[in-house]
């Protein structure tokens, strides 16, 4: 038995971990009994674990094929964005969508249908996938949006519950350099940054705002907005090359990230940002994956771990974002690094998270007695606004709210029933939210 957990480090699960190294071995595992797929363990909650069961760790399927002239590449499901970038960037290609860490596998990127700072323009990961190889209890299928749209889109965002992705064909993005030119703007309140995002995001490929949910009073929701695009060839290199990689060698004592330390950090972060800067050259790492520079940063949250609460609300419900930020500031709960972003239209994935609107992600340490109920109250606000929370981040949603947040759940279950009628594919997330049987 191996103890597993998500990136939030709670809940944990002891499971037998097996590491298949071929499609055939994956098929054998599926024939044996209940199975849960896992990549690099970057989903925050319990999506990639199965307490008391068998977990297939797919990081062994990590081959990366040649990139063709159109920028299409075939990869094993266990290959990471990190590994792909190491191959692709020197040849002038970039991943079409990257989340805030490059330590995610292709299989995980499909299963969570991950999004990045360019969602408002380029959509989420699955929109750039040509086809998938999917091992299911009913056989192995090569699935594309053309050949089997139902199964393809049930798999995109399907949290690994429609089959085990073993291979992915992705269309990459042509880039002329490994530099990103970034405009930075600082705003003293939430209204200012949201107005700027509505007005200007269309001009940028990438856009994201960091919001201070700990600042009190009139400064509540002050924010730093960074927007940019890949630099043309021959651009000036970033001034400050990345320093060495730091690490957190052990789990921090409880309470290291408390109201005072987080406030101090947020204050420093806010002041460090320029009020207005244009076209500053940044490295890929510092712009897209700043936290990857600190290995195991999740340990800073101490032994109880943390939850990430990420929700999306439709365009017209920007007010909900403001209510949430104000509630948090008042609640006294510590939120480190709240990230605000605008989404473009969602893709056809039945359980895909993004929809046109606003998404806010909050990291909250477990420990405050009021946290569980406060998050339940936020769920109500999000539901009232017609929004939803992100399953790849979830570790605490009430199962009764899933169908309202994901209205195509029944449709998804029917597609899943076609390839997994006996319910072989499962996970603690699936059991907890009753996505599949208990």
Q: At closest approach, how far in Å is the CB of 431 from another protein?
A: 5
The β-bridge relationship of strands 246-247 and 294-295 is: parallel
Contact 183, 226 (CB under 8 A): yes
Name which position in 7, 11, 85, 97 contacts another protein (CB under 8 A).
11
Name which position in 20, 39, 41, 45 contacts another protein (CB under 8 A).
45
Name which position in 304, 327, 413, 418 contacts another protein (CB under 8 A).
304
Name which position in 176, 398, 404, 414 contacts another protein (CB under 8 A).
398
Q: Does 428 bind another protein (CB under 8 A)?
A: yes
Q: How far apart are CA 152 and CA 12, in angstroms?
A: 30
Q: At closest approach, how far in Å is the CB of 330 from another protein?
A: 21
Q: Does 253 bind another protein (CB under 8 A)?
A: no
Instruction: Give the footprint of another protein on residues 53-92 (CB under 8 A).
Output: 53
Of 30, 97, 25, 102, the C-alpha closest to 61 is 25
Instruction: Give the footprint of another protein on residues 207-226 (CB under 8 A).
Output: none
Name which position in 3, 174, 275, 330 contacts another protein (CB under 8 A).
3
Q: How far apart are CA 221 and CA 209, in angstroms?
A: 11
Cα–Cα distances in Å, from 315 out to 195, 201, 378? Answer: 12, 14, 18
Q: How far apart are CA 104 and CA 43, in angstroms?
A: 9
Instruction: Using the rule CB under 8 A, give the single segment among 9-17, 176-184, 281-289, 292-300 that binds another protein.
Output: 9-17
Q: Does 276 bind another protein (CB under 8 A)?
A: no
Instruction: Give the footprint of another protein on residues 366-385 (CB under 8 A).
Output: 366-367, 369, 371-372
Q: How far apart are CA 224 and CA 240, in angstroms?
A: 20
Instruction: Using the rule CB under 8 A, give the single segment among 24-32, 97-105, 343-351, 428-436 that binds another protein.
Output: 428-436
Name which position in 287, 396, 420, 435 contacts another protein (CB under 8 A).
396
Q: Does 401 bind another protein (CB under 8 A)?
A: no
Size of the site for another protein (CB under 8 A): 31
Instruction: Using the rule CB under 8 A, give the single segment among 51-59, 185-193, 221-229, 258-266 that binds another protein.
Output: 51-59
> What are φ and ψ of residue 60, in 5° steps?
-75, -25
* 175: CB partners within 8 A, 6+ apart: 89, 92, 93, 94, 230
Q: At closest approach, how far in Å is the CB of 389 from another protein?
A: 13
User: 128 is written with which tokens?
Assistant: 């750039």
Q: Pick the closer one to another protein by CB: 27 or 368.
A: 368
Q: Does 46 bind another protein (CB under 8 A)?
A: yes
Q: Does 15 bind another protein (CB under 8 A)?
A: yes
Contact 40, 105 (CB under 8 A): yes
Q: Does 431 bind another protein (CB under 8 A)?
A: yes
Q: Does 13 bind another protein (CB under 8 A)?
A: yes
Name which position in 231, 395, 424, 435 contacts another protein (CB under 8 A).
395
Is-cis flag, bond preceding 258, omega within 30? no
Q: Pick the closer one to another protein by CB: 85 or 334.
A: 334
Give the footprint of another protein on this chain (CB under 8 A). Answer: 1, 3, 8, 10-11, 13-15, 45-46, 51-53, 254, 303-305, 307, 366-367, 369, 371-372, 395-396, 398-399, 428, 431-432, 438
């Amino acid at each position: 038995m191996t103890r597993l957990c998500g990136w939030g480090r709670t809940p944990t699960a002891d499971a037998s971990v097996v590491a298949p190294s071929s499609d055939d071995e994956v098929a054998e595992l599926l024939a044996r009994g209940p199975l849960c797929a896992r990549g690099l363990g970057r989903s925050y909650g319990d999506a990639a674990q199965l307490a008391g069961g068998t977990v297939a760790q797919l990081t062994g399927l990590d081959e990366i094929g040649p990139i063709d002239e159109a920028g299409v590449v075939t990869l094993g499901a266990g290959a990471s964005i990190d590994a792909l970038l190491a191959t692709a960037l020197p040849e002038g290609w970039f991943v079409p969508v990257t989340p805030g860490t490059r330590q995610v596998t292709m299989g995980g990127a499909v299963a969570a249908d991950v999004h990045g700072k360019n969602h408002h323009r380029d959509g989420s990961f699955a929109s750039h996938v040509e086809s998938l190889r999917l091992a299911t209890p009913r056989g192995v299928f090569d699935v594309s949006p053309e050949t089997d749209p139902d199964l393809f889109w049930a798999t995109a965002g399907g949290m690994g519950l429609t089959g085990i992705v073993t291979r992915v064909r992705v269309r990459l993005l042509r880039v002329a350099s490994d530099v990103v030119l970034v405009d930075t703007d600082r705003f003293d309140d939430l209204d200012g940054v949201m107005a700027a995002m509505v007005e200007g995001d269309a001009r940028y490929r990438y856009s994201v705002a960091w919001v201070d949910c700990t600042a009190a009073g009139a400064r509540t929701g002050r924010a730093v907005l960074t927007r940019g695009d890949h630099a043309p060839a021959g651009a000036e290199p970033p001034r400050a090359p990345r320093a060495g990689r730091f690490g957190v060698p052990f789990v921090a004592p409880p309470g290291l990230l408390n109201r005072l330390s987080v406030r101090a950090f947020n204050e420093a972060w806010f002041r460090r940002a320029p009020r207005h800067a244009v076209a500053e050259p940044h490295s890929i790492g510092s712009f897209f994956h700043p936290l990857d520079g600190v290995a195991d940063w999740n340990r800073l949250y101490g032994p109880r771990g943390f939850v990430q609460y990420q929700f999306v609300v439709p365009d017209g419900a920007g007010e909900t974002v403001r209510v949430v930020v104000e509630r948090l500031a008042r609640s006294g709960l510590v939120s480190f690094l709240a990230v605000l972003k605008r989404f473009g239209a969602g893709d056809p994935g039945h359980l895909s998270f993004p929809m046109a609107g606003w998404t806010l992600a909050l990291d909250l340490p477990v420990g405050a007695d009021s946290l569980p109920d406060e998050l339940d109250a936020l769920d109500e606000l999000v539901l009232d606004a017609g929004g939803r929370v992100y399953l790849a981040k979830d570790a605490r949603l009430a199962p009764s709210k899933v169908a309202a947040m994901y209205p195509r759940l029944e449709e998804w279950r029917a597609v899943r029933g076609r390839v997994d009628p006996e319910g072989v594919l499962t996970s603690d997330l699936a059991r907890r939210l009753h996505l599949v049987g208990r």
